[in-house]
Structure formats: C-alpha cells, structure tokens
Copies of this chain bind each other. A is one copy, B any other.
Amino acid sequence: MPTPTPDAPAARPAGPVTLQQVAERAGVSSATASRALHGSSGTRIVGEELRKRVLDAARELRYVSNAPAQALARSTTSVVGVVVHDVADPYFAAIAAGAMGVAREHGLLVMLAATFRDPELELDYLARLRAQRARAVILAGSGFADREFTRRLAAEADAYRADGGHVIAVGSHGIAADTVRPANRAGAALAVRHLYDLGHRRFGIVSGPRSLTTVRDRLDGARRQLRALGLPLTPGQVVDGGFTREQARTAARTLLTGPSAPTALVVLNDVMAAGVLAALREDLGLRVPDQVSVVGFDDVPFAADLNPPLTTIRLPLADIGTQAMHMILTGPTVTPRTVDVDAELVPRSSTAPAPQP
C-alpha cells in the first residue's frame, strides 16, 4: 500500500486503520505515535509539534485505538457489565439507568445483558464478560435459590476476581461479593403491617417465581410479619403471579374467588400489581380500595399513574445502580462489603380501611 504523504488527500485504507499507518502519515515512528496518542508507553516526552502531527494524522485517517489490543496489554477495559433478568421490566431499567449515569461521568461503557431468568445464561454472560476483560460486573437480577447453581456461580465469580475483575451483587446471590442489599424482608413486613393497621385480617399474596431469592426474601418477610400478628399464612393464600402482569391478573382471580376471599393483597412487585388492579376492576368488578386493598413493591415510575395510584413499598432503584457503580469506582476490598438499601411505604390510593364484614 502506498504511503500517503502529509499533503495527500486522506485516502481511507480498507480494514481498520493501524497505528503504523498513522505513524507513516505523520512521518514518525510507531513508538512516537503511540506516545503521542496514549501518552503512556515511556517517559520520553513527545514535542508539541510532533504530537500535533500525529493527532492530525489520526483524525484524518479516522484512527481509533484498538480496544482489544489495549485490553490485552492492560488486562482490563473500560467496560462494566450489568446483568439483569429483563430489560423491559422497569425495575431493572431504573437500576441500570442509575448505574449508567455514574458510568457516564467516569468514562465507562456499560454493557447491559439480559438473562430472561435463565441461570445458565447468567453463567454464560459472566464467563463472556470475563473473556472480554470487563473491569466489573453488576449482577442486578435476583439470585437463584439453587445450591448447585450457586456453587457454579461462586466459582465463576472467584475466577473473575482472580483475573483482576470485580463482581457486585444486588441482593442475596449466596456468593462472597460486594453486595447492595435491598430490604426485601423488611419491605414486605411493612406492607403487611400497613394493611393490618387499616383493620385488614384476610390476606392474600401474589408471589413470583419461587426459584428467585428476591421472591423468597419478600415472601419470608410477609410470612414472618403475619405470624407475628397471629395470622399465619396457609398455602391457599399464596398464588404465583410469575412476576408478569398477565399471570398476576390470573392469580388475582384465583385468590378472590374462594369462600373467604381476602380484603388485602400484598403483591410482590409493581408490574404484577398492574395486572392485579386490572383483574379487580375489569374481571371481578371489585372496587379498589373500598372492597379490596392492594400494596405493590418497588415503586417503579408508572406506579403513581395506575388506577387507582398504587400504594407500594419503595426501593430507591436508581440509587441501587449508583451504589453498585460507586463500589466499582472505589475498587475491590479484601473482605466483601455490604451496603444496605432501605425500603419505605409510599401510601397512595389503593389502600383503605378494611370493609365492614
């Protein structure tokens, strides 16, 4: 390939432009071009005039630093992986948005990956992010309550750390990692207590997939609080809403059509609460909150816009993402850290005193 002279028009060579081509165009050595562009491969200072010639050549040729080559050299990259279950679920979108805001301020590129709640895919993504030499990974999806999976996840996370990476878990994943821990148990207890204080004594729970630790923690929090109040849960009071709007709609119809139907529903996330409200209003013709009270969980952005506006347990979702990213910025510590994130009750219009029997 002919070497373009500095005065020739900037012909675009085929394939990625190499550092060598930039050096040739600028009329300098590759080492000088590298120092001028990266400023890091030695102590010799590149003169301002030379540096300008190299930068001009790089711009004219549209050179971009070769990230794979630099990753090889540095063994880490400016990429942070965020593994979620479903990016269309506003819970994860809000956490990811919080993480991305911090990443933006610090010049990091966020690689968001969705597992669709498939544990195998979570392991696969973690291995592939390790192969990409991603600097850190935030496991933002719920953990899976499966001992064999947890063992494999822990081994993969250990390997990631041994390679110089950093793993941050949101919620309990059963692995030794920096963790941002939302108050799932305490939050569910708050929901129960709020309804109990309004006089409700007949409870129903719209739950999610039992394979998720988030679901187990929330369900456990509700169960303990009910037991403490002298109202132990029976199996028929808990129906799986699958963490989806449509399945929750069906679950609500099941719960409300028994002989002693509940007057109070604790729904373990807001996406399902939207389906529950639709079931009560459109399928069952029950008035919320006059006949049935409903509490959600998460406080996703649309919770205030539901009909009626949803009383829910607020988790500061964007904060969870920023907390995780701040752990990445401060780097790993010898013993894993845990940051607790509180839940709070946000009373809106879907709860009211229990109807008179």
Contacts and interface: CB of A to CB of B under 8 A. Distances in A.
Interface of A: 12, 14-16, 62, 64-69, 71-72, 75, 77-79, 86-90, 93-94, 96-97, 100-101, 104, 109-114, 116, 121, 125, 127-128, 130-133, 155-156, 158-159, 162-164, 245, 274, 277-278, 301-302, 304-308, 318
A282 to B, nearest CB: 9
Contact of A130 (B15, B64, B69, B101): B64
Contacts of A96: 87-88, 112
The list of the 7 closest CB pairs from A to B, nearest first, reads A307-B307, A112-B112, A88-B97, A68-B68, A67-B131, A68-B71, A62-B159
Contacts of A112: 87, 96, 110-112
13 contacts: A12-B159, A15-B75, A62-B156, A68-B71, A78-B128, A88-B301, A90-B93, A109-B113, A109-B125, A111-B112, A302-B305, A306-B307, A307-B307
Given A62-B155, A64-B131, A121-B104, A16 B109 contact: no
Given A12-B162, A274-B302, 20 more contacts: A15-B164, A62-B159, A62-B162, A64-B128, A68-B69, A68-B71, A68-B132, A86-B97, A87-B93, A87-B97, A87-B112, A88-B94, A88-B97, A89-B93, A104-B114, A109-B132, A110-B113, A111-B112, A245-B305, A307-B307
A127 B64 contact: yes
Contacts of A301: 88, 245
A88 B90 contact: yes
Nearest to A159: B62
A304 to B, nearest CB: 8
A299 to B, nearest CB: 13
Contacts of A132: 67-68, 77, 79, 109
- Most B CB contacts (10 A, CB to CB) among A114, A131, A163, A304 go to A131
A300 to B, nearest CB: 9
Contacts of A64: 127-128, 130-131, 159
Contacts of A133: 16, 66-68
Contacts of A125: 109
A104 B113 CA distance: 10
B114 A15 contact: no
Contacts of A88: 90, 93-94, 96-97, 301, 318
Contacts of A162: 12, 14-15, 62
A87 to B, nearest CB: 5
A163 B62 CA distance: 11
A179 B265 CA distance: 46
Contacts of A116: 101, 104
Nearest to A90: B90
Contacts of A156: 62
